[in-house]
């Protein structure tokens, strides 16, 4: 065997003993109409040792209606530090973005939201990948299709509630929802995000209890959107919350969502859809045209057919 052949053989042996860099990838393909938003819940296992990981988002469409795609880090949202990867396509094409997580261990959750940019139907091909982890570390736990409807409260994957109200007259809209705190009493810190439109004059969030209501947050007069923390009393079992929106005589629009940690379960709405919010949702219509202070609102407000939960503003 020549010297060159011996060198090549040694290189082959050395390479055979070197493992390839691990990567986990999820692929999503299908189509989405402007009458709904598709929300996947993704779980990423960071492992036993805390580490920062990068989620790489790539998306493409052949549709002239374009796409509005977000990957939302739920743990960052809960501590009022929104962290997302976003792809906005106003027409056919492709684009990419990435999200870098803080150093963490264990399983963390993310929302992948899929929406059209325009008012028709868009096809999509999406991949979410993470380098440096095993293939099984990235899991899609399933998708939920959310219809666009004003006045209806949507429960997302047992983690969040999303609301959009379009009002034609003045009054106070009261929306109630239930959360299960489990058998052991616990204090819960949730992230409440809101984006008021024209002639919304007040906003309040209450925790209902056997001893009466507890006010968790309020805003009045001229106020703007934001994301705030709601801290509950130590509770167990089913707990009911209420959001009240005061609307001026000319009517208005308000979008809000509330995200809960994994220690509790978002059960659902209490009561039927609001009869005070009378308009029905339309399409996305350029959801990224408006931006808000919070990632979840900005991504999910498109899912109600308003232009974007901070962009869920009507187009």
pLDDT value of residue 87? 97
Sign of the C-alpha dihedral computed for residues 118, 119, 120 and 124 taken in this order: positive
Q: What is the pTM assigned to this prediction?
A: 0.83
Q: Which is nearest to 44 in space by CA: 127, 113, 111, 95?
A: 111
pLDDT value of residue 246? 94
pLDDT along the chain (315 residues), means of 10: 53 47 92 93 96 98 97 96 96 97 97 94 98 95 89 94 91 96 97 90 94 94 88 97 94 93 96 81 38 46 38 28
The C-alpha atoms of residue 291 and residue 224 are separated, in whole angstroms, by 12
Give DSSP secondary structure letters for the chain. Answer: --HHHHHHHHHHHHHHTSPPPPEEEEEEEEEEETTEEEEEEEEEE--SS-B--EEEEEEEE--TT-EEEEEEEHHHHHTT---EEEEEESSSEEEEEEEEPPSB-SEEEEEEEEEESSSSEEEEEEEEEEETS-GGGEEEEEEEEEE--TT-EEEETTTEEEEEEEESS-EEEEEEEEEE--SS-B--EEEEEEEE-TTEEEEEEEEE-TT--EEEEEEESS---EEEEEEPPSB-SEEEEEEEEEE-TT-EEEEEEEE--TTSEEEEEESS--SSB-------SSGGGS--S-HHHHHHGGGGTS----S-S--
**The sheet that has 252-259: what strands, in order across it?**
153-156, 160-167, 252-259, 189-196, 226-231
- Judge if 1-146 and 149-280 fold alike in CATH terms: yes
Give CATH for domain 149-280.
2.60.120.380
Spans of all domains in the chain:
1-146, 149-280
Q: Which is nearest to 119 in space by CA: 148, 144, 95, 145?
A: 148
Query: Could you give the angle at the alpha carbon of 264 between the alpha carbons of 260 and 270, nearest 5°?
Result: 80
pLDDT value of residue 196? 87
Best CATH choice for the domain 1-146 from the list 3.40.630.10, 1.10.3720.10, 3.40.1050.10, 2.60.120.380: 2.60.120.380
> Are 306 and 315 within 8 A, CB to CB?
yes
Half-sphere exposure of 96 (CA within 13 A, CB side): 9
């Amino acid at each position: 065997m020549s010297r060159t052949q011996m060198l090549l053989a040694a290189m082959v042996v050395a390479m055979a003993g070197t493992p390839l860099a691990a990567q986990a990838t999820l692929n999503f393909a299908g189509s989405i109409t402007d009458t709904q938003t598709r929300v996947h819940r993704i779980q990423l296992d960071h492992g036993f040792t805390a580490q920062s990981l990068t989620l790489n988002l790539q998306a493409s469409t052949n549709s002239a209606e374009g796409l509005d795609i977000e990957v939302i880090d739920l743990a960052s949202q809960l501590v009022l530090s929104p962290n997302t990867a976003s792809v906005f396509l106003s027409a056919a094409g492709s684009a990419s973005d990435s999200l870098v997580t803080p150093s963490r261990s264990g399983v963390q959750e993310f929302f992948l939201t899929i929406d059209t940019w325009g008012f028709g139907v868009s096809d999509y091909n999406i991949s979410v990948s993470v380098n440096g982890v095993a293939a099984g570390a990235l899991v899609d736990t399933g998708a939920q299709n959310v219809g666009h409807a004003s006045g209806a409260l949507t429960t997302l994957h047992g983690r969040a509630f999303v609301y959009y109200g379009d009002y034609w007259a003045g009054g106070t809209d009261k929306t109630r929802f239930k959360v299960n705190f489990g058998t052991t009493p616990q204090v819960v810190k949730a992230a409440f995000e809101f984006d008021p439109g024209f002639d919304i004059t007040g906003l309040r969030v209450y925790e209902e209890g056997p001893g009466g209501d507890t006010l968790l947050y309020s805003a009045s007069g001229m106020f703007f959107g934001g994301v705030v923390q709601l801290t509950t009393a130590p509770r167990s079992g089913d707990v009911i919350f209420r959001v009240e929106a005061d609307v001026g005589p000319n009517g208005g629009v308000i979008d809000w969502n509330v995200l809960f940690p994994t220690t509790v379960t978002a059960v659902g709405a209490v009561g039927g859809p609001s009869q005070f919010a009378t308009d029905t949702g339309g399409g996305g219509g350029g959801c990224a045209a408006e931006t808000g202070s919070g990632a979840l609102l900005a991504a999910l407000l498109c899912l109600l057919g308003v232009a974007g939960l901070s962009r869920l503003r009507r187009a």
